[in-house]
Copies of this chain bind each other. A is one copy, B any other.
Amino acid sequence: MPDDVAADKLAVLECLSDYCYAIDFLDCDALGDLFTEDAVLHFSLGGVGREDITVSGGTAIGDYFRDVLPQFGAAAPKHPLTNHVVRVDGTRASSRSYLATGAGLYAGEYERSATGWRLSRLTVTYFARPTRGSR
């Protein structure tokens, strides 16, 4: 692994963290810098018995959150992500992470731009809250 891959991996994870800060602290304007223009946001909700949601385009993603975030309550850290595995391949990268509550799995795809890494696709798969494993 060349040395700068470590820096890229951390930058990719910071893009993902910035996304969480934006939606958890109701800063929808910040979302514009985090997604590519043709980005796709996909919530896979079959595991919790609901219809999937797909939003296409960076501008539409900002509008989507501007619409739905108010119903999720006050600003607070609501999306703690852990267990990151990042792959970097030139100007593209991918990540997968746990939602620490156990309710979700995040899969990100990224493109490197002149100003840093941006999400080109974010797929969030939701799970019925598991019984905690004991091991």
Q: What residues make up the interface of A, taking CB atoms closer than 8 Å to B? A: 1-7, 9-11, 13-14, 17-18, 20-21, 23-24, 43, 68, 72-86, 96, 98-105, 124, 126-128, 130-135
Q: Would you call A130 and B10 a contact (CB within 8 A)?
A: no
Copies of this protein in the complex: 3
For residue A132, which residues in chain B have a CB less than 8 angstroms away from its CB? 78, 101, 103
- Tell me the smallest distance from the CB of A119 to a CB of chain B, in Å: 15
**Contacts A1-B7, A3-B4, A3-B7; A133 near B78 (Cβ below 8 A):** yes
A-B contact pairs, 25 of them (CB 8 A): A3-B4, A3-B7, A6-B10, A9-B10, A14-B84, A17-B85, A18-B85, A21-B96, A43-B135, A68-B135, A72-B134, A72-B135, A76-B130, A77-B98, A77-B99, A77-B130, A78-B102, A78-B132, A78-B133, A80-B82, A80-B83, A82-B82, A103-B132, A124-B135, A126-B134
